[in-house]
Structure 1
Amino acid sequence: MSRLVVITGGTKGIGAAISRRFADAGDKVVALGRADLDVTDEVAVGHVLGSLGEIDVLVNNAGIATSAPVHRTTVEDWQAQLEVNATGAFLCTRAVLPGMRERDRGRIVTVASTAAHVGQLYTAGYTASKHAAVGLMRTVAAEVAGSGVTANAVCPTFVRTDMTTRTIRRVAEATGQSEEDSETSIARLSPLGRLLEPDEVAFAVAFLAAPEAGAINGQTIVLDGGGIQA
């Protein structure tokens, strides 16, 4: 049976790969980019998601990242990452949850990060926001436990996206390394030893969103080759 799948940040990178995977499975996909929805705008979230009908799957994928040591992190950067990565997931989840509970079915999957499990250098706002997003997911999972609704998260290491490309360039500029060597350095931060491909993240999201995954709730799937075992 075709489902209605809504993906925030669904037009580029990881989100685009997730959108393709659900579409290829025959689901009706609504991929929302920044031009379609500001996930930090409470009114807009309620209006856009409320206008789509019965949403079967919500993928909270919209996210931003900046990098700086804590003492150089601006309040503006800190707040922006918390707003998009955590509050955005909260607003979208809150918007779809009543309908899912009423119908007693639904899947909510949040794309977090390995930064949701450990502290990483120069990522105070990003790491805090991803911890918050996973904390939100666990609370939702506790509230829907025993129903036909589930909430889970995927936590990938660095993925081959435009966001990671920008990180590689910043590392190259800061260290004087080539971009190729900078990518290698970043890839070695996990046992995987390479960047993840967006399709690998999409596979994990689709797995958690499958109708057969009703027994999986409140969990994080870490995609890093085994460095974090959670």
Structure 2
Amino acid sequence: MSGLPHSPHALVTGGGRGIGREIASALAHAGATVTVLGRNRATLDEAIAAGAAHFAGVADVADQAAVCAAIAEAAARQPIDILIANAGSAESAPFGKSDAALFQRMMDINFMGVVHTIQAALPSMKGRPYGRIVAVASTAGLKGYAYVSAYSAAKHAVIGLVRSLALELAATRVTVNAVCPGFTDTDLVAGSIDNIMKKTGRSREQAISELAKHNPQGRLVTPAEVADTVLWLCGEGSSAVTGQAIAVAGGEV
């Protein structure tokens, strides 16, 4: 399997924790210069101190102007070759209690955040000899789950964007793909576990089992497994792979 080209610059949104930090670390250890983007400077600095990244920028991906400024600053240091649109947020509620504000939040962060990030980085990426865009979506972008209709709708939109943009860029050297993790052992899922415990009175072990049952392997996915898939998509050997939504979910999809 071909690795990364010599010293590419990778930018990872939501790179201070969870899957994003694991992806940033994998890219850094593979030889990339990594910039992590997020809302919390302290969390980003911790990632740098741990060797998961080299530089950081502060921006909320829902804020287009802030994203453009942060990506321009990062690109001024070194042109961006790899863009990982990972930042996201999940809220759960029955559809009848999912108001317009909830749908707007989920779309702003999970979908428009990806749009803003790609639009800011893509113009300069198209003229370079190598480019990789990977959106971290979810199995919720490939199937439905009860009580997360807004989140699922936003992730479905990400998959549609990836498929369409891949066709637009097929004549360039930039590929566009998505990875779709199932329930993954992160602090985001920890919040879902706490929510299950609060609403149902189940123990933590029972709540974890409730989520793990979606995975035919009977477990939560690890962030490292998602990062390994992203790393492969960023390699030179994956140049014919574009427009794909790859599930990392133990056979769930």
Select which of 30, 35, 47 maps to 1:25. 30
Equivalences for 1:28-43 in 2 at 5 Å? 28-35=33-40, 36-43=58-65
Select which of 180, 183, 205 maps to 1:155. 180
Match of 1:62 in 2: 87
**Range moving further from structure 2, 215-224 or 96-105:** 96-105
Unaligned runs of 5+ in 1: none
Equivalences for 1:180-219 in 2 at 5 Å? 180-219=205-244
Give 1:104 deviation, angstroms.
4.3
Match of 1:47 in 2: 69
What's the CA shift string for 1:138-184, capped at 9, x where partnerless? 11101001321100000010010111011011111222211111101
CA contact (8 A) 2:81 2:128 kept: no
Unaligned runs of 5+ in 2: 1-5, 41-57
SS at match of 1:145: coil
Identity of aligned residues (%): 40
Name the TM-score, length of structure 1 as normaliser: 0.96
Match of 1:11 in 2: 16
Q: Take 1:95 and 1:182, find their aligned partners in 2: how far apart are those partners?
A: 40
| Matched length | 228
**Range moving further from structure 2, 113-122 or 45-54:** 45-54
Match of 1:75 in 2: 100
CA contact (8 A) 2:185 2:220 kept: yes
What's the CA shift string for 1:34-92, capped at 9, x where partnerless? 13111111111111111222100000000000001000112222111100100000011
SS at match of 1:52: helix
Match of 1:137 in 2: 162
Match of 1:97 in 2: 122
Q: Take 2:96 and 2:188, find their aligned partners in 1: how far apart are those partners?
A: 23
Q: Take 1:23 and 1:10, find their aligned partners in 2: how far apart are those partners?
A: 12
Match of 2:194 in 1: 169
The runs of at least 4 consecutive aligned structure 1 residues that moved more than 6 Å come to none
Equivalences for 1:114-133 in 2 at 5 Å? 114-133=139-158
Match of 1:2 in 2: 7
**1:51 maps to amino acid:** E
**2:156 maps to amino acid:** H
SS at match of 2:127: helix
Q: Take 1:15 and 1:129, find their aligned partners in 2: how far apart are those partners?
A: 18
